[in-house]
Amino acid sequence: MTTTATIPTAKPRKSQSQWSIVRAQFFRNPLARVGLGILGVLYLIALLAGFLAPYGLAEYSTTDRISWAPPTPVHWEKVGNTSGPFVYGLKREIDNETFRDKYVEDKATICPVRFLVHNPQIEGRSYKFLGFIPSSLKLFGVDDDGGSKQCKLYLWGSDSYGRDQFSRMMYGSQISLTIGIIASLLALALGLVLGGVAGYFRGLTDTVIMRMVEVLSAIPDLFLLILLRAMFPLNANPILVFYIVVVLLAVISWGGIARVVRGQILSGREQDYVQAATALGASDARIIGHHLLPNSATFIIISMSLAIPGYILTESGLSFIGIGIVEPYASWGSLLKLAQDGGFESLDTRPWTLLPGVFIVLAVLGWQFVGDGLRDAFDPRRRR
């Protein structure tokens, strides 16, 4: 009597969409996960900047300018009736070696550090929570009556005007991190429209648009930015300057996107599905927008993620040389300029002025890691 062994049949695997495969491949990349975590923290800081910053963007002491104050030590031991986190008052003295002002702790003045502080009566501390909810609630702070007391909570020191560097760093993240996304979206829109029109219609339209791209690429980007920025007054409204910088960043960088999109449109317009859409009476705008440009989705996503860190660096460079974001608003580039103003002294006595550079590096690295992860995830040859 013979027995026949039954071979178990394998369960059919559920088919996956392209986006589910890309998502799985992206999260298998450790550097991509690190970059996504870094960006998550930085953009959360930008979203909650007003809540995290103990002071207003341009707030300074109303009684005495506390210029270049060092980071304030926070004490936790019990002193008298005070326990928990507290800071001592600041007292100005003269350094007998350098004959410059220095700040020491005034042990006679103790100010507790309080959490969830609400001071609506102090000018400059109101903000819009999440961008649209008016509020003056702060995560932490000290009772300084709007600067009249000599108790300060300068976690990362102060600048030459006595403004809290930590607070300005929080507010500066909103400009430095959003300007890259807005500029990339605008450059992407210009590149897609002009590149799509040039590739689809060809002829004179293609010639004019491509010659514009060649002219823009022939001029160094930094020189062109400085030249275009010089056309606007340096003392313009700070909000207007922000939009000017965004537009300038997009204007000098749409050419590369348009050139690639044009090439993809040229190869795609001869495909059978495009000919079928034309035979069915579809308009040119519908063929470009619904049939040709969606095939460039992979390129669009990857180019955006890799272009944003370039915009962050460019804006930081413009603000660093004084033609970017202007007072009273701040970006990480304009805050880093304080280190240049102090010269070599910043490395020795005021190292906290270099902290904006650390955040710029983190933001650029985060976007680079995410961009590389997306590029590998969309590439079938690199999938694991």
Contacts of residue 300, Cβ cutoff 8 Å, sequence gap at least 6 = 188, 192
* 3-class secondary structure per residue, 291-317: HHHHHHHHHHHHHHHHHHHHHHHHHHH
For residues 71 and 156, give the distance between their C-alpha atoms in angstroms, rounded to a whole number: 5
Domains of the chain in start order, with CATH, are: 54-163 (no CATH), 169-382 (1.10.3720.10)
CB 88 within 8 A of CB 109: yes
Position 325 scores a pLDDT of: 81
Q: Which residues pair with 118 in a beta bridge?
A: 137
Angle between helices 221-229 and 238-251 (to 10 degrees): 140
Query: How far is the first Cα of the chain from the last one, in angstroms, to the nearest whole number?
Result: 48
Position 217 scores a pLDDT of: 82
CB 153 within 8 A of CB 72: yes
| Residues present in the chain in total | 384
Position 15 scores a pLDDT of: 61
For residues 360 and 334, give the distance between their C-alpha atoms in angstroms, rounded to a whole number: 12
Position 129 scores a pLDDT of: 77
Residue type at position 78: K
- Give me the residue label for tokens 């001869």: 270
For residues 108 and 95, give the distance between their C-alpha atoms in angstroms, rounded to a whole number: 21
Among residues 362, 367, 254, the alpha carbon closest in space to that of 302 is found at 367
Contacts of residue 266, Cβ cutoff 8 Å, sequence gap at least 6 = 199, 202
- Print pLDDT tens along the chain (384 aa): 455 555 555 555 566 666 787 788 888 889 999 999 999 999 999 999 989 999 888 887 666 677 888 888 888 887 777 777 888 888 888 777 766 778 888 888 888 888 888 877 777 788 887 777 888 888 888 876 555 557 888 999 888 888 889 999 999 999 999 988 888 889 888 888 888 888 888 888 888 989 988 888 887 777 777 777 777 776 777 778 788 888 888 888 888 888 888 888 887 777 777 778 778 777 777 777 777 777 777 777 888 888 888 888 888 888 887 777 878 888 898 888 877 766 556 667 788 888 999 999 999 999 999 988 888 887 766 656
Rg (CA), the chain: 28
Residue type at position 352: W
